[in-house]
């Protein structure tokens, strides 16, 4: 299953015909992807499932229907188990950026984290997943496919947000502060986090008398 976010609304691409009563299921071959994106942007459509029995054809379909921008980024932990966030366009995000010619996904992910935050000595631990979202460039739809990696660093120096990329802040955040940041983040970013980051921690529950 893939979730392709248009604003904060996901278009589901799956091998299941029925994923919920609210969803309109459209066979993949019949889908007019750009028209669906337009309807979502106009508030005319909220729940859509694009179906094909062959999972391998789902992303292939996307790449044929809309121009792709490949990107890479990192979910970065330090020795205190804090997570590295950036703030851009008024929301908390994770460092990422476009892959340059000749780069591997892993190389691009490390370079982008370094450039956007000033963090050094990064080590990739695991590939997490790919996320998908549609954006507009020069009045044309583009699909950004971001390859995400779990990273680690012992770096404890200053953070230097990259202003030319619109980044206002770069911050290490502990568990509780990460939870708060995710309340003002993007749905595709939330997919990268373990479930406990998206629920209320027991220590945060306050009983009002």
Q: What confidence tens digit (pLDDT) does each residue in 32-66 have?
A: 999 999 999 999 999 999 999 999 889 898 898 89
Burial 77-115 (b: 16+ CB within 10 A, else e): bbeeebbbbbbbeeebbbbbbebeeebebeebbbbbbbb
d(CA 56, CA 49): 16
d(CA 126, CA 152): 10
Domain ranges of the chain: 2-65, 70-202
Q: What confidence tens digit (pLDDT) does each residue in 98-120 have?
A: 999 999 999 999 999 999 999 99
Q: What is the CATH number of domain 70-202?
A: 3.90.79.10
pTM: 0.90
Structure tokens at 68: 């792709």
């Amino acid at each position: 299953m893939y979730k392709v976010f248009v604003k904060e609304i996901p278009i589901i691409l799956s091998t299941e015909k029925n994923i919920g009563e609210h969803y309109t299921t459209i066979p993949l071959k019949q889908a007019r992807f750009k028209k669906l994106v337009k309807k979502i942007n106009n508030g005319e459509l909220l729940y859509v499932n694009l179906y094909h029995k062959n999972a391998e054809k789902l992303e292939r379909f996307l790449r044929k229907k809309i121009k792709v921008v490949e990107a890479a980024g990192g979910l970065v932990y330090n020795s205190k188990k804090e997570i590295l966030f950036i703030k851009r366009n008024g929301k908390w995000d994770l460092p990422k950026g476009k892959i340059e010619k000749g780069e591997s996904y892993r190389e691009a992910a490390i370079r982008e984290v370094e450039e956007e935050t000033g963090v050094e000595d990064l080590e990739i631990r695991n590939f997490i997943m790919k996320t998908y979202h549609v954006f507009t460039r020069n009045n044309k739809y583009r699909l950004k496919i971001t390859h995400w990696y779990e990273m680690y660093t012992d770096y404890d120096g200053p953070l230097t947000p990259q202003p030319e990329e619109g980044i206002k802040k770069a911050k290490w955040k502990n568990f509780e502060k990460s939870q708060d940041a995710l309340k003002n983040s993007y749905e595709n970013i939330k997919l990268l986090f373990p479930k406990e980051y998206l629920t209320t921690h027991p220590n945060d529950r306050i009983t009002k008398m």
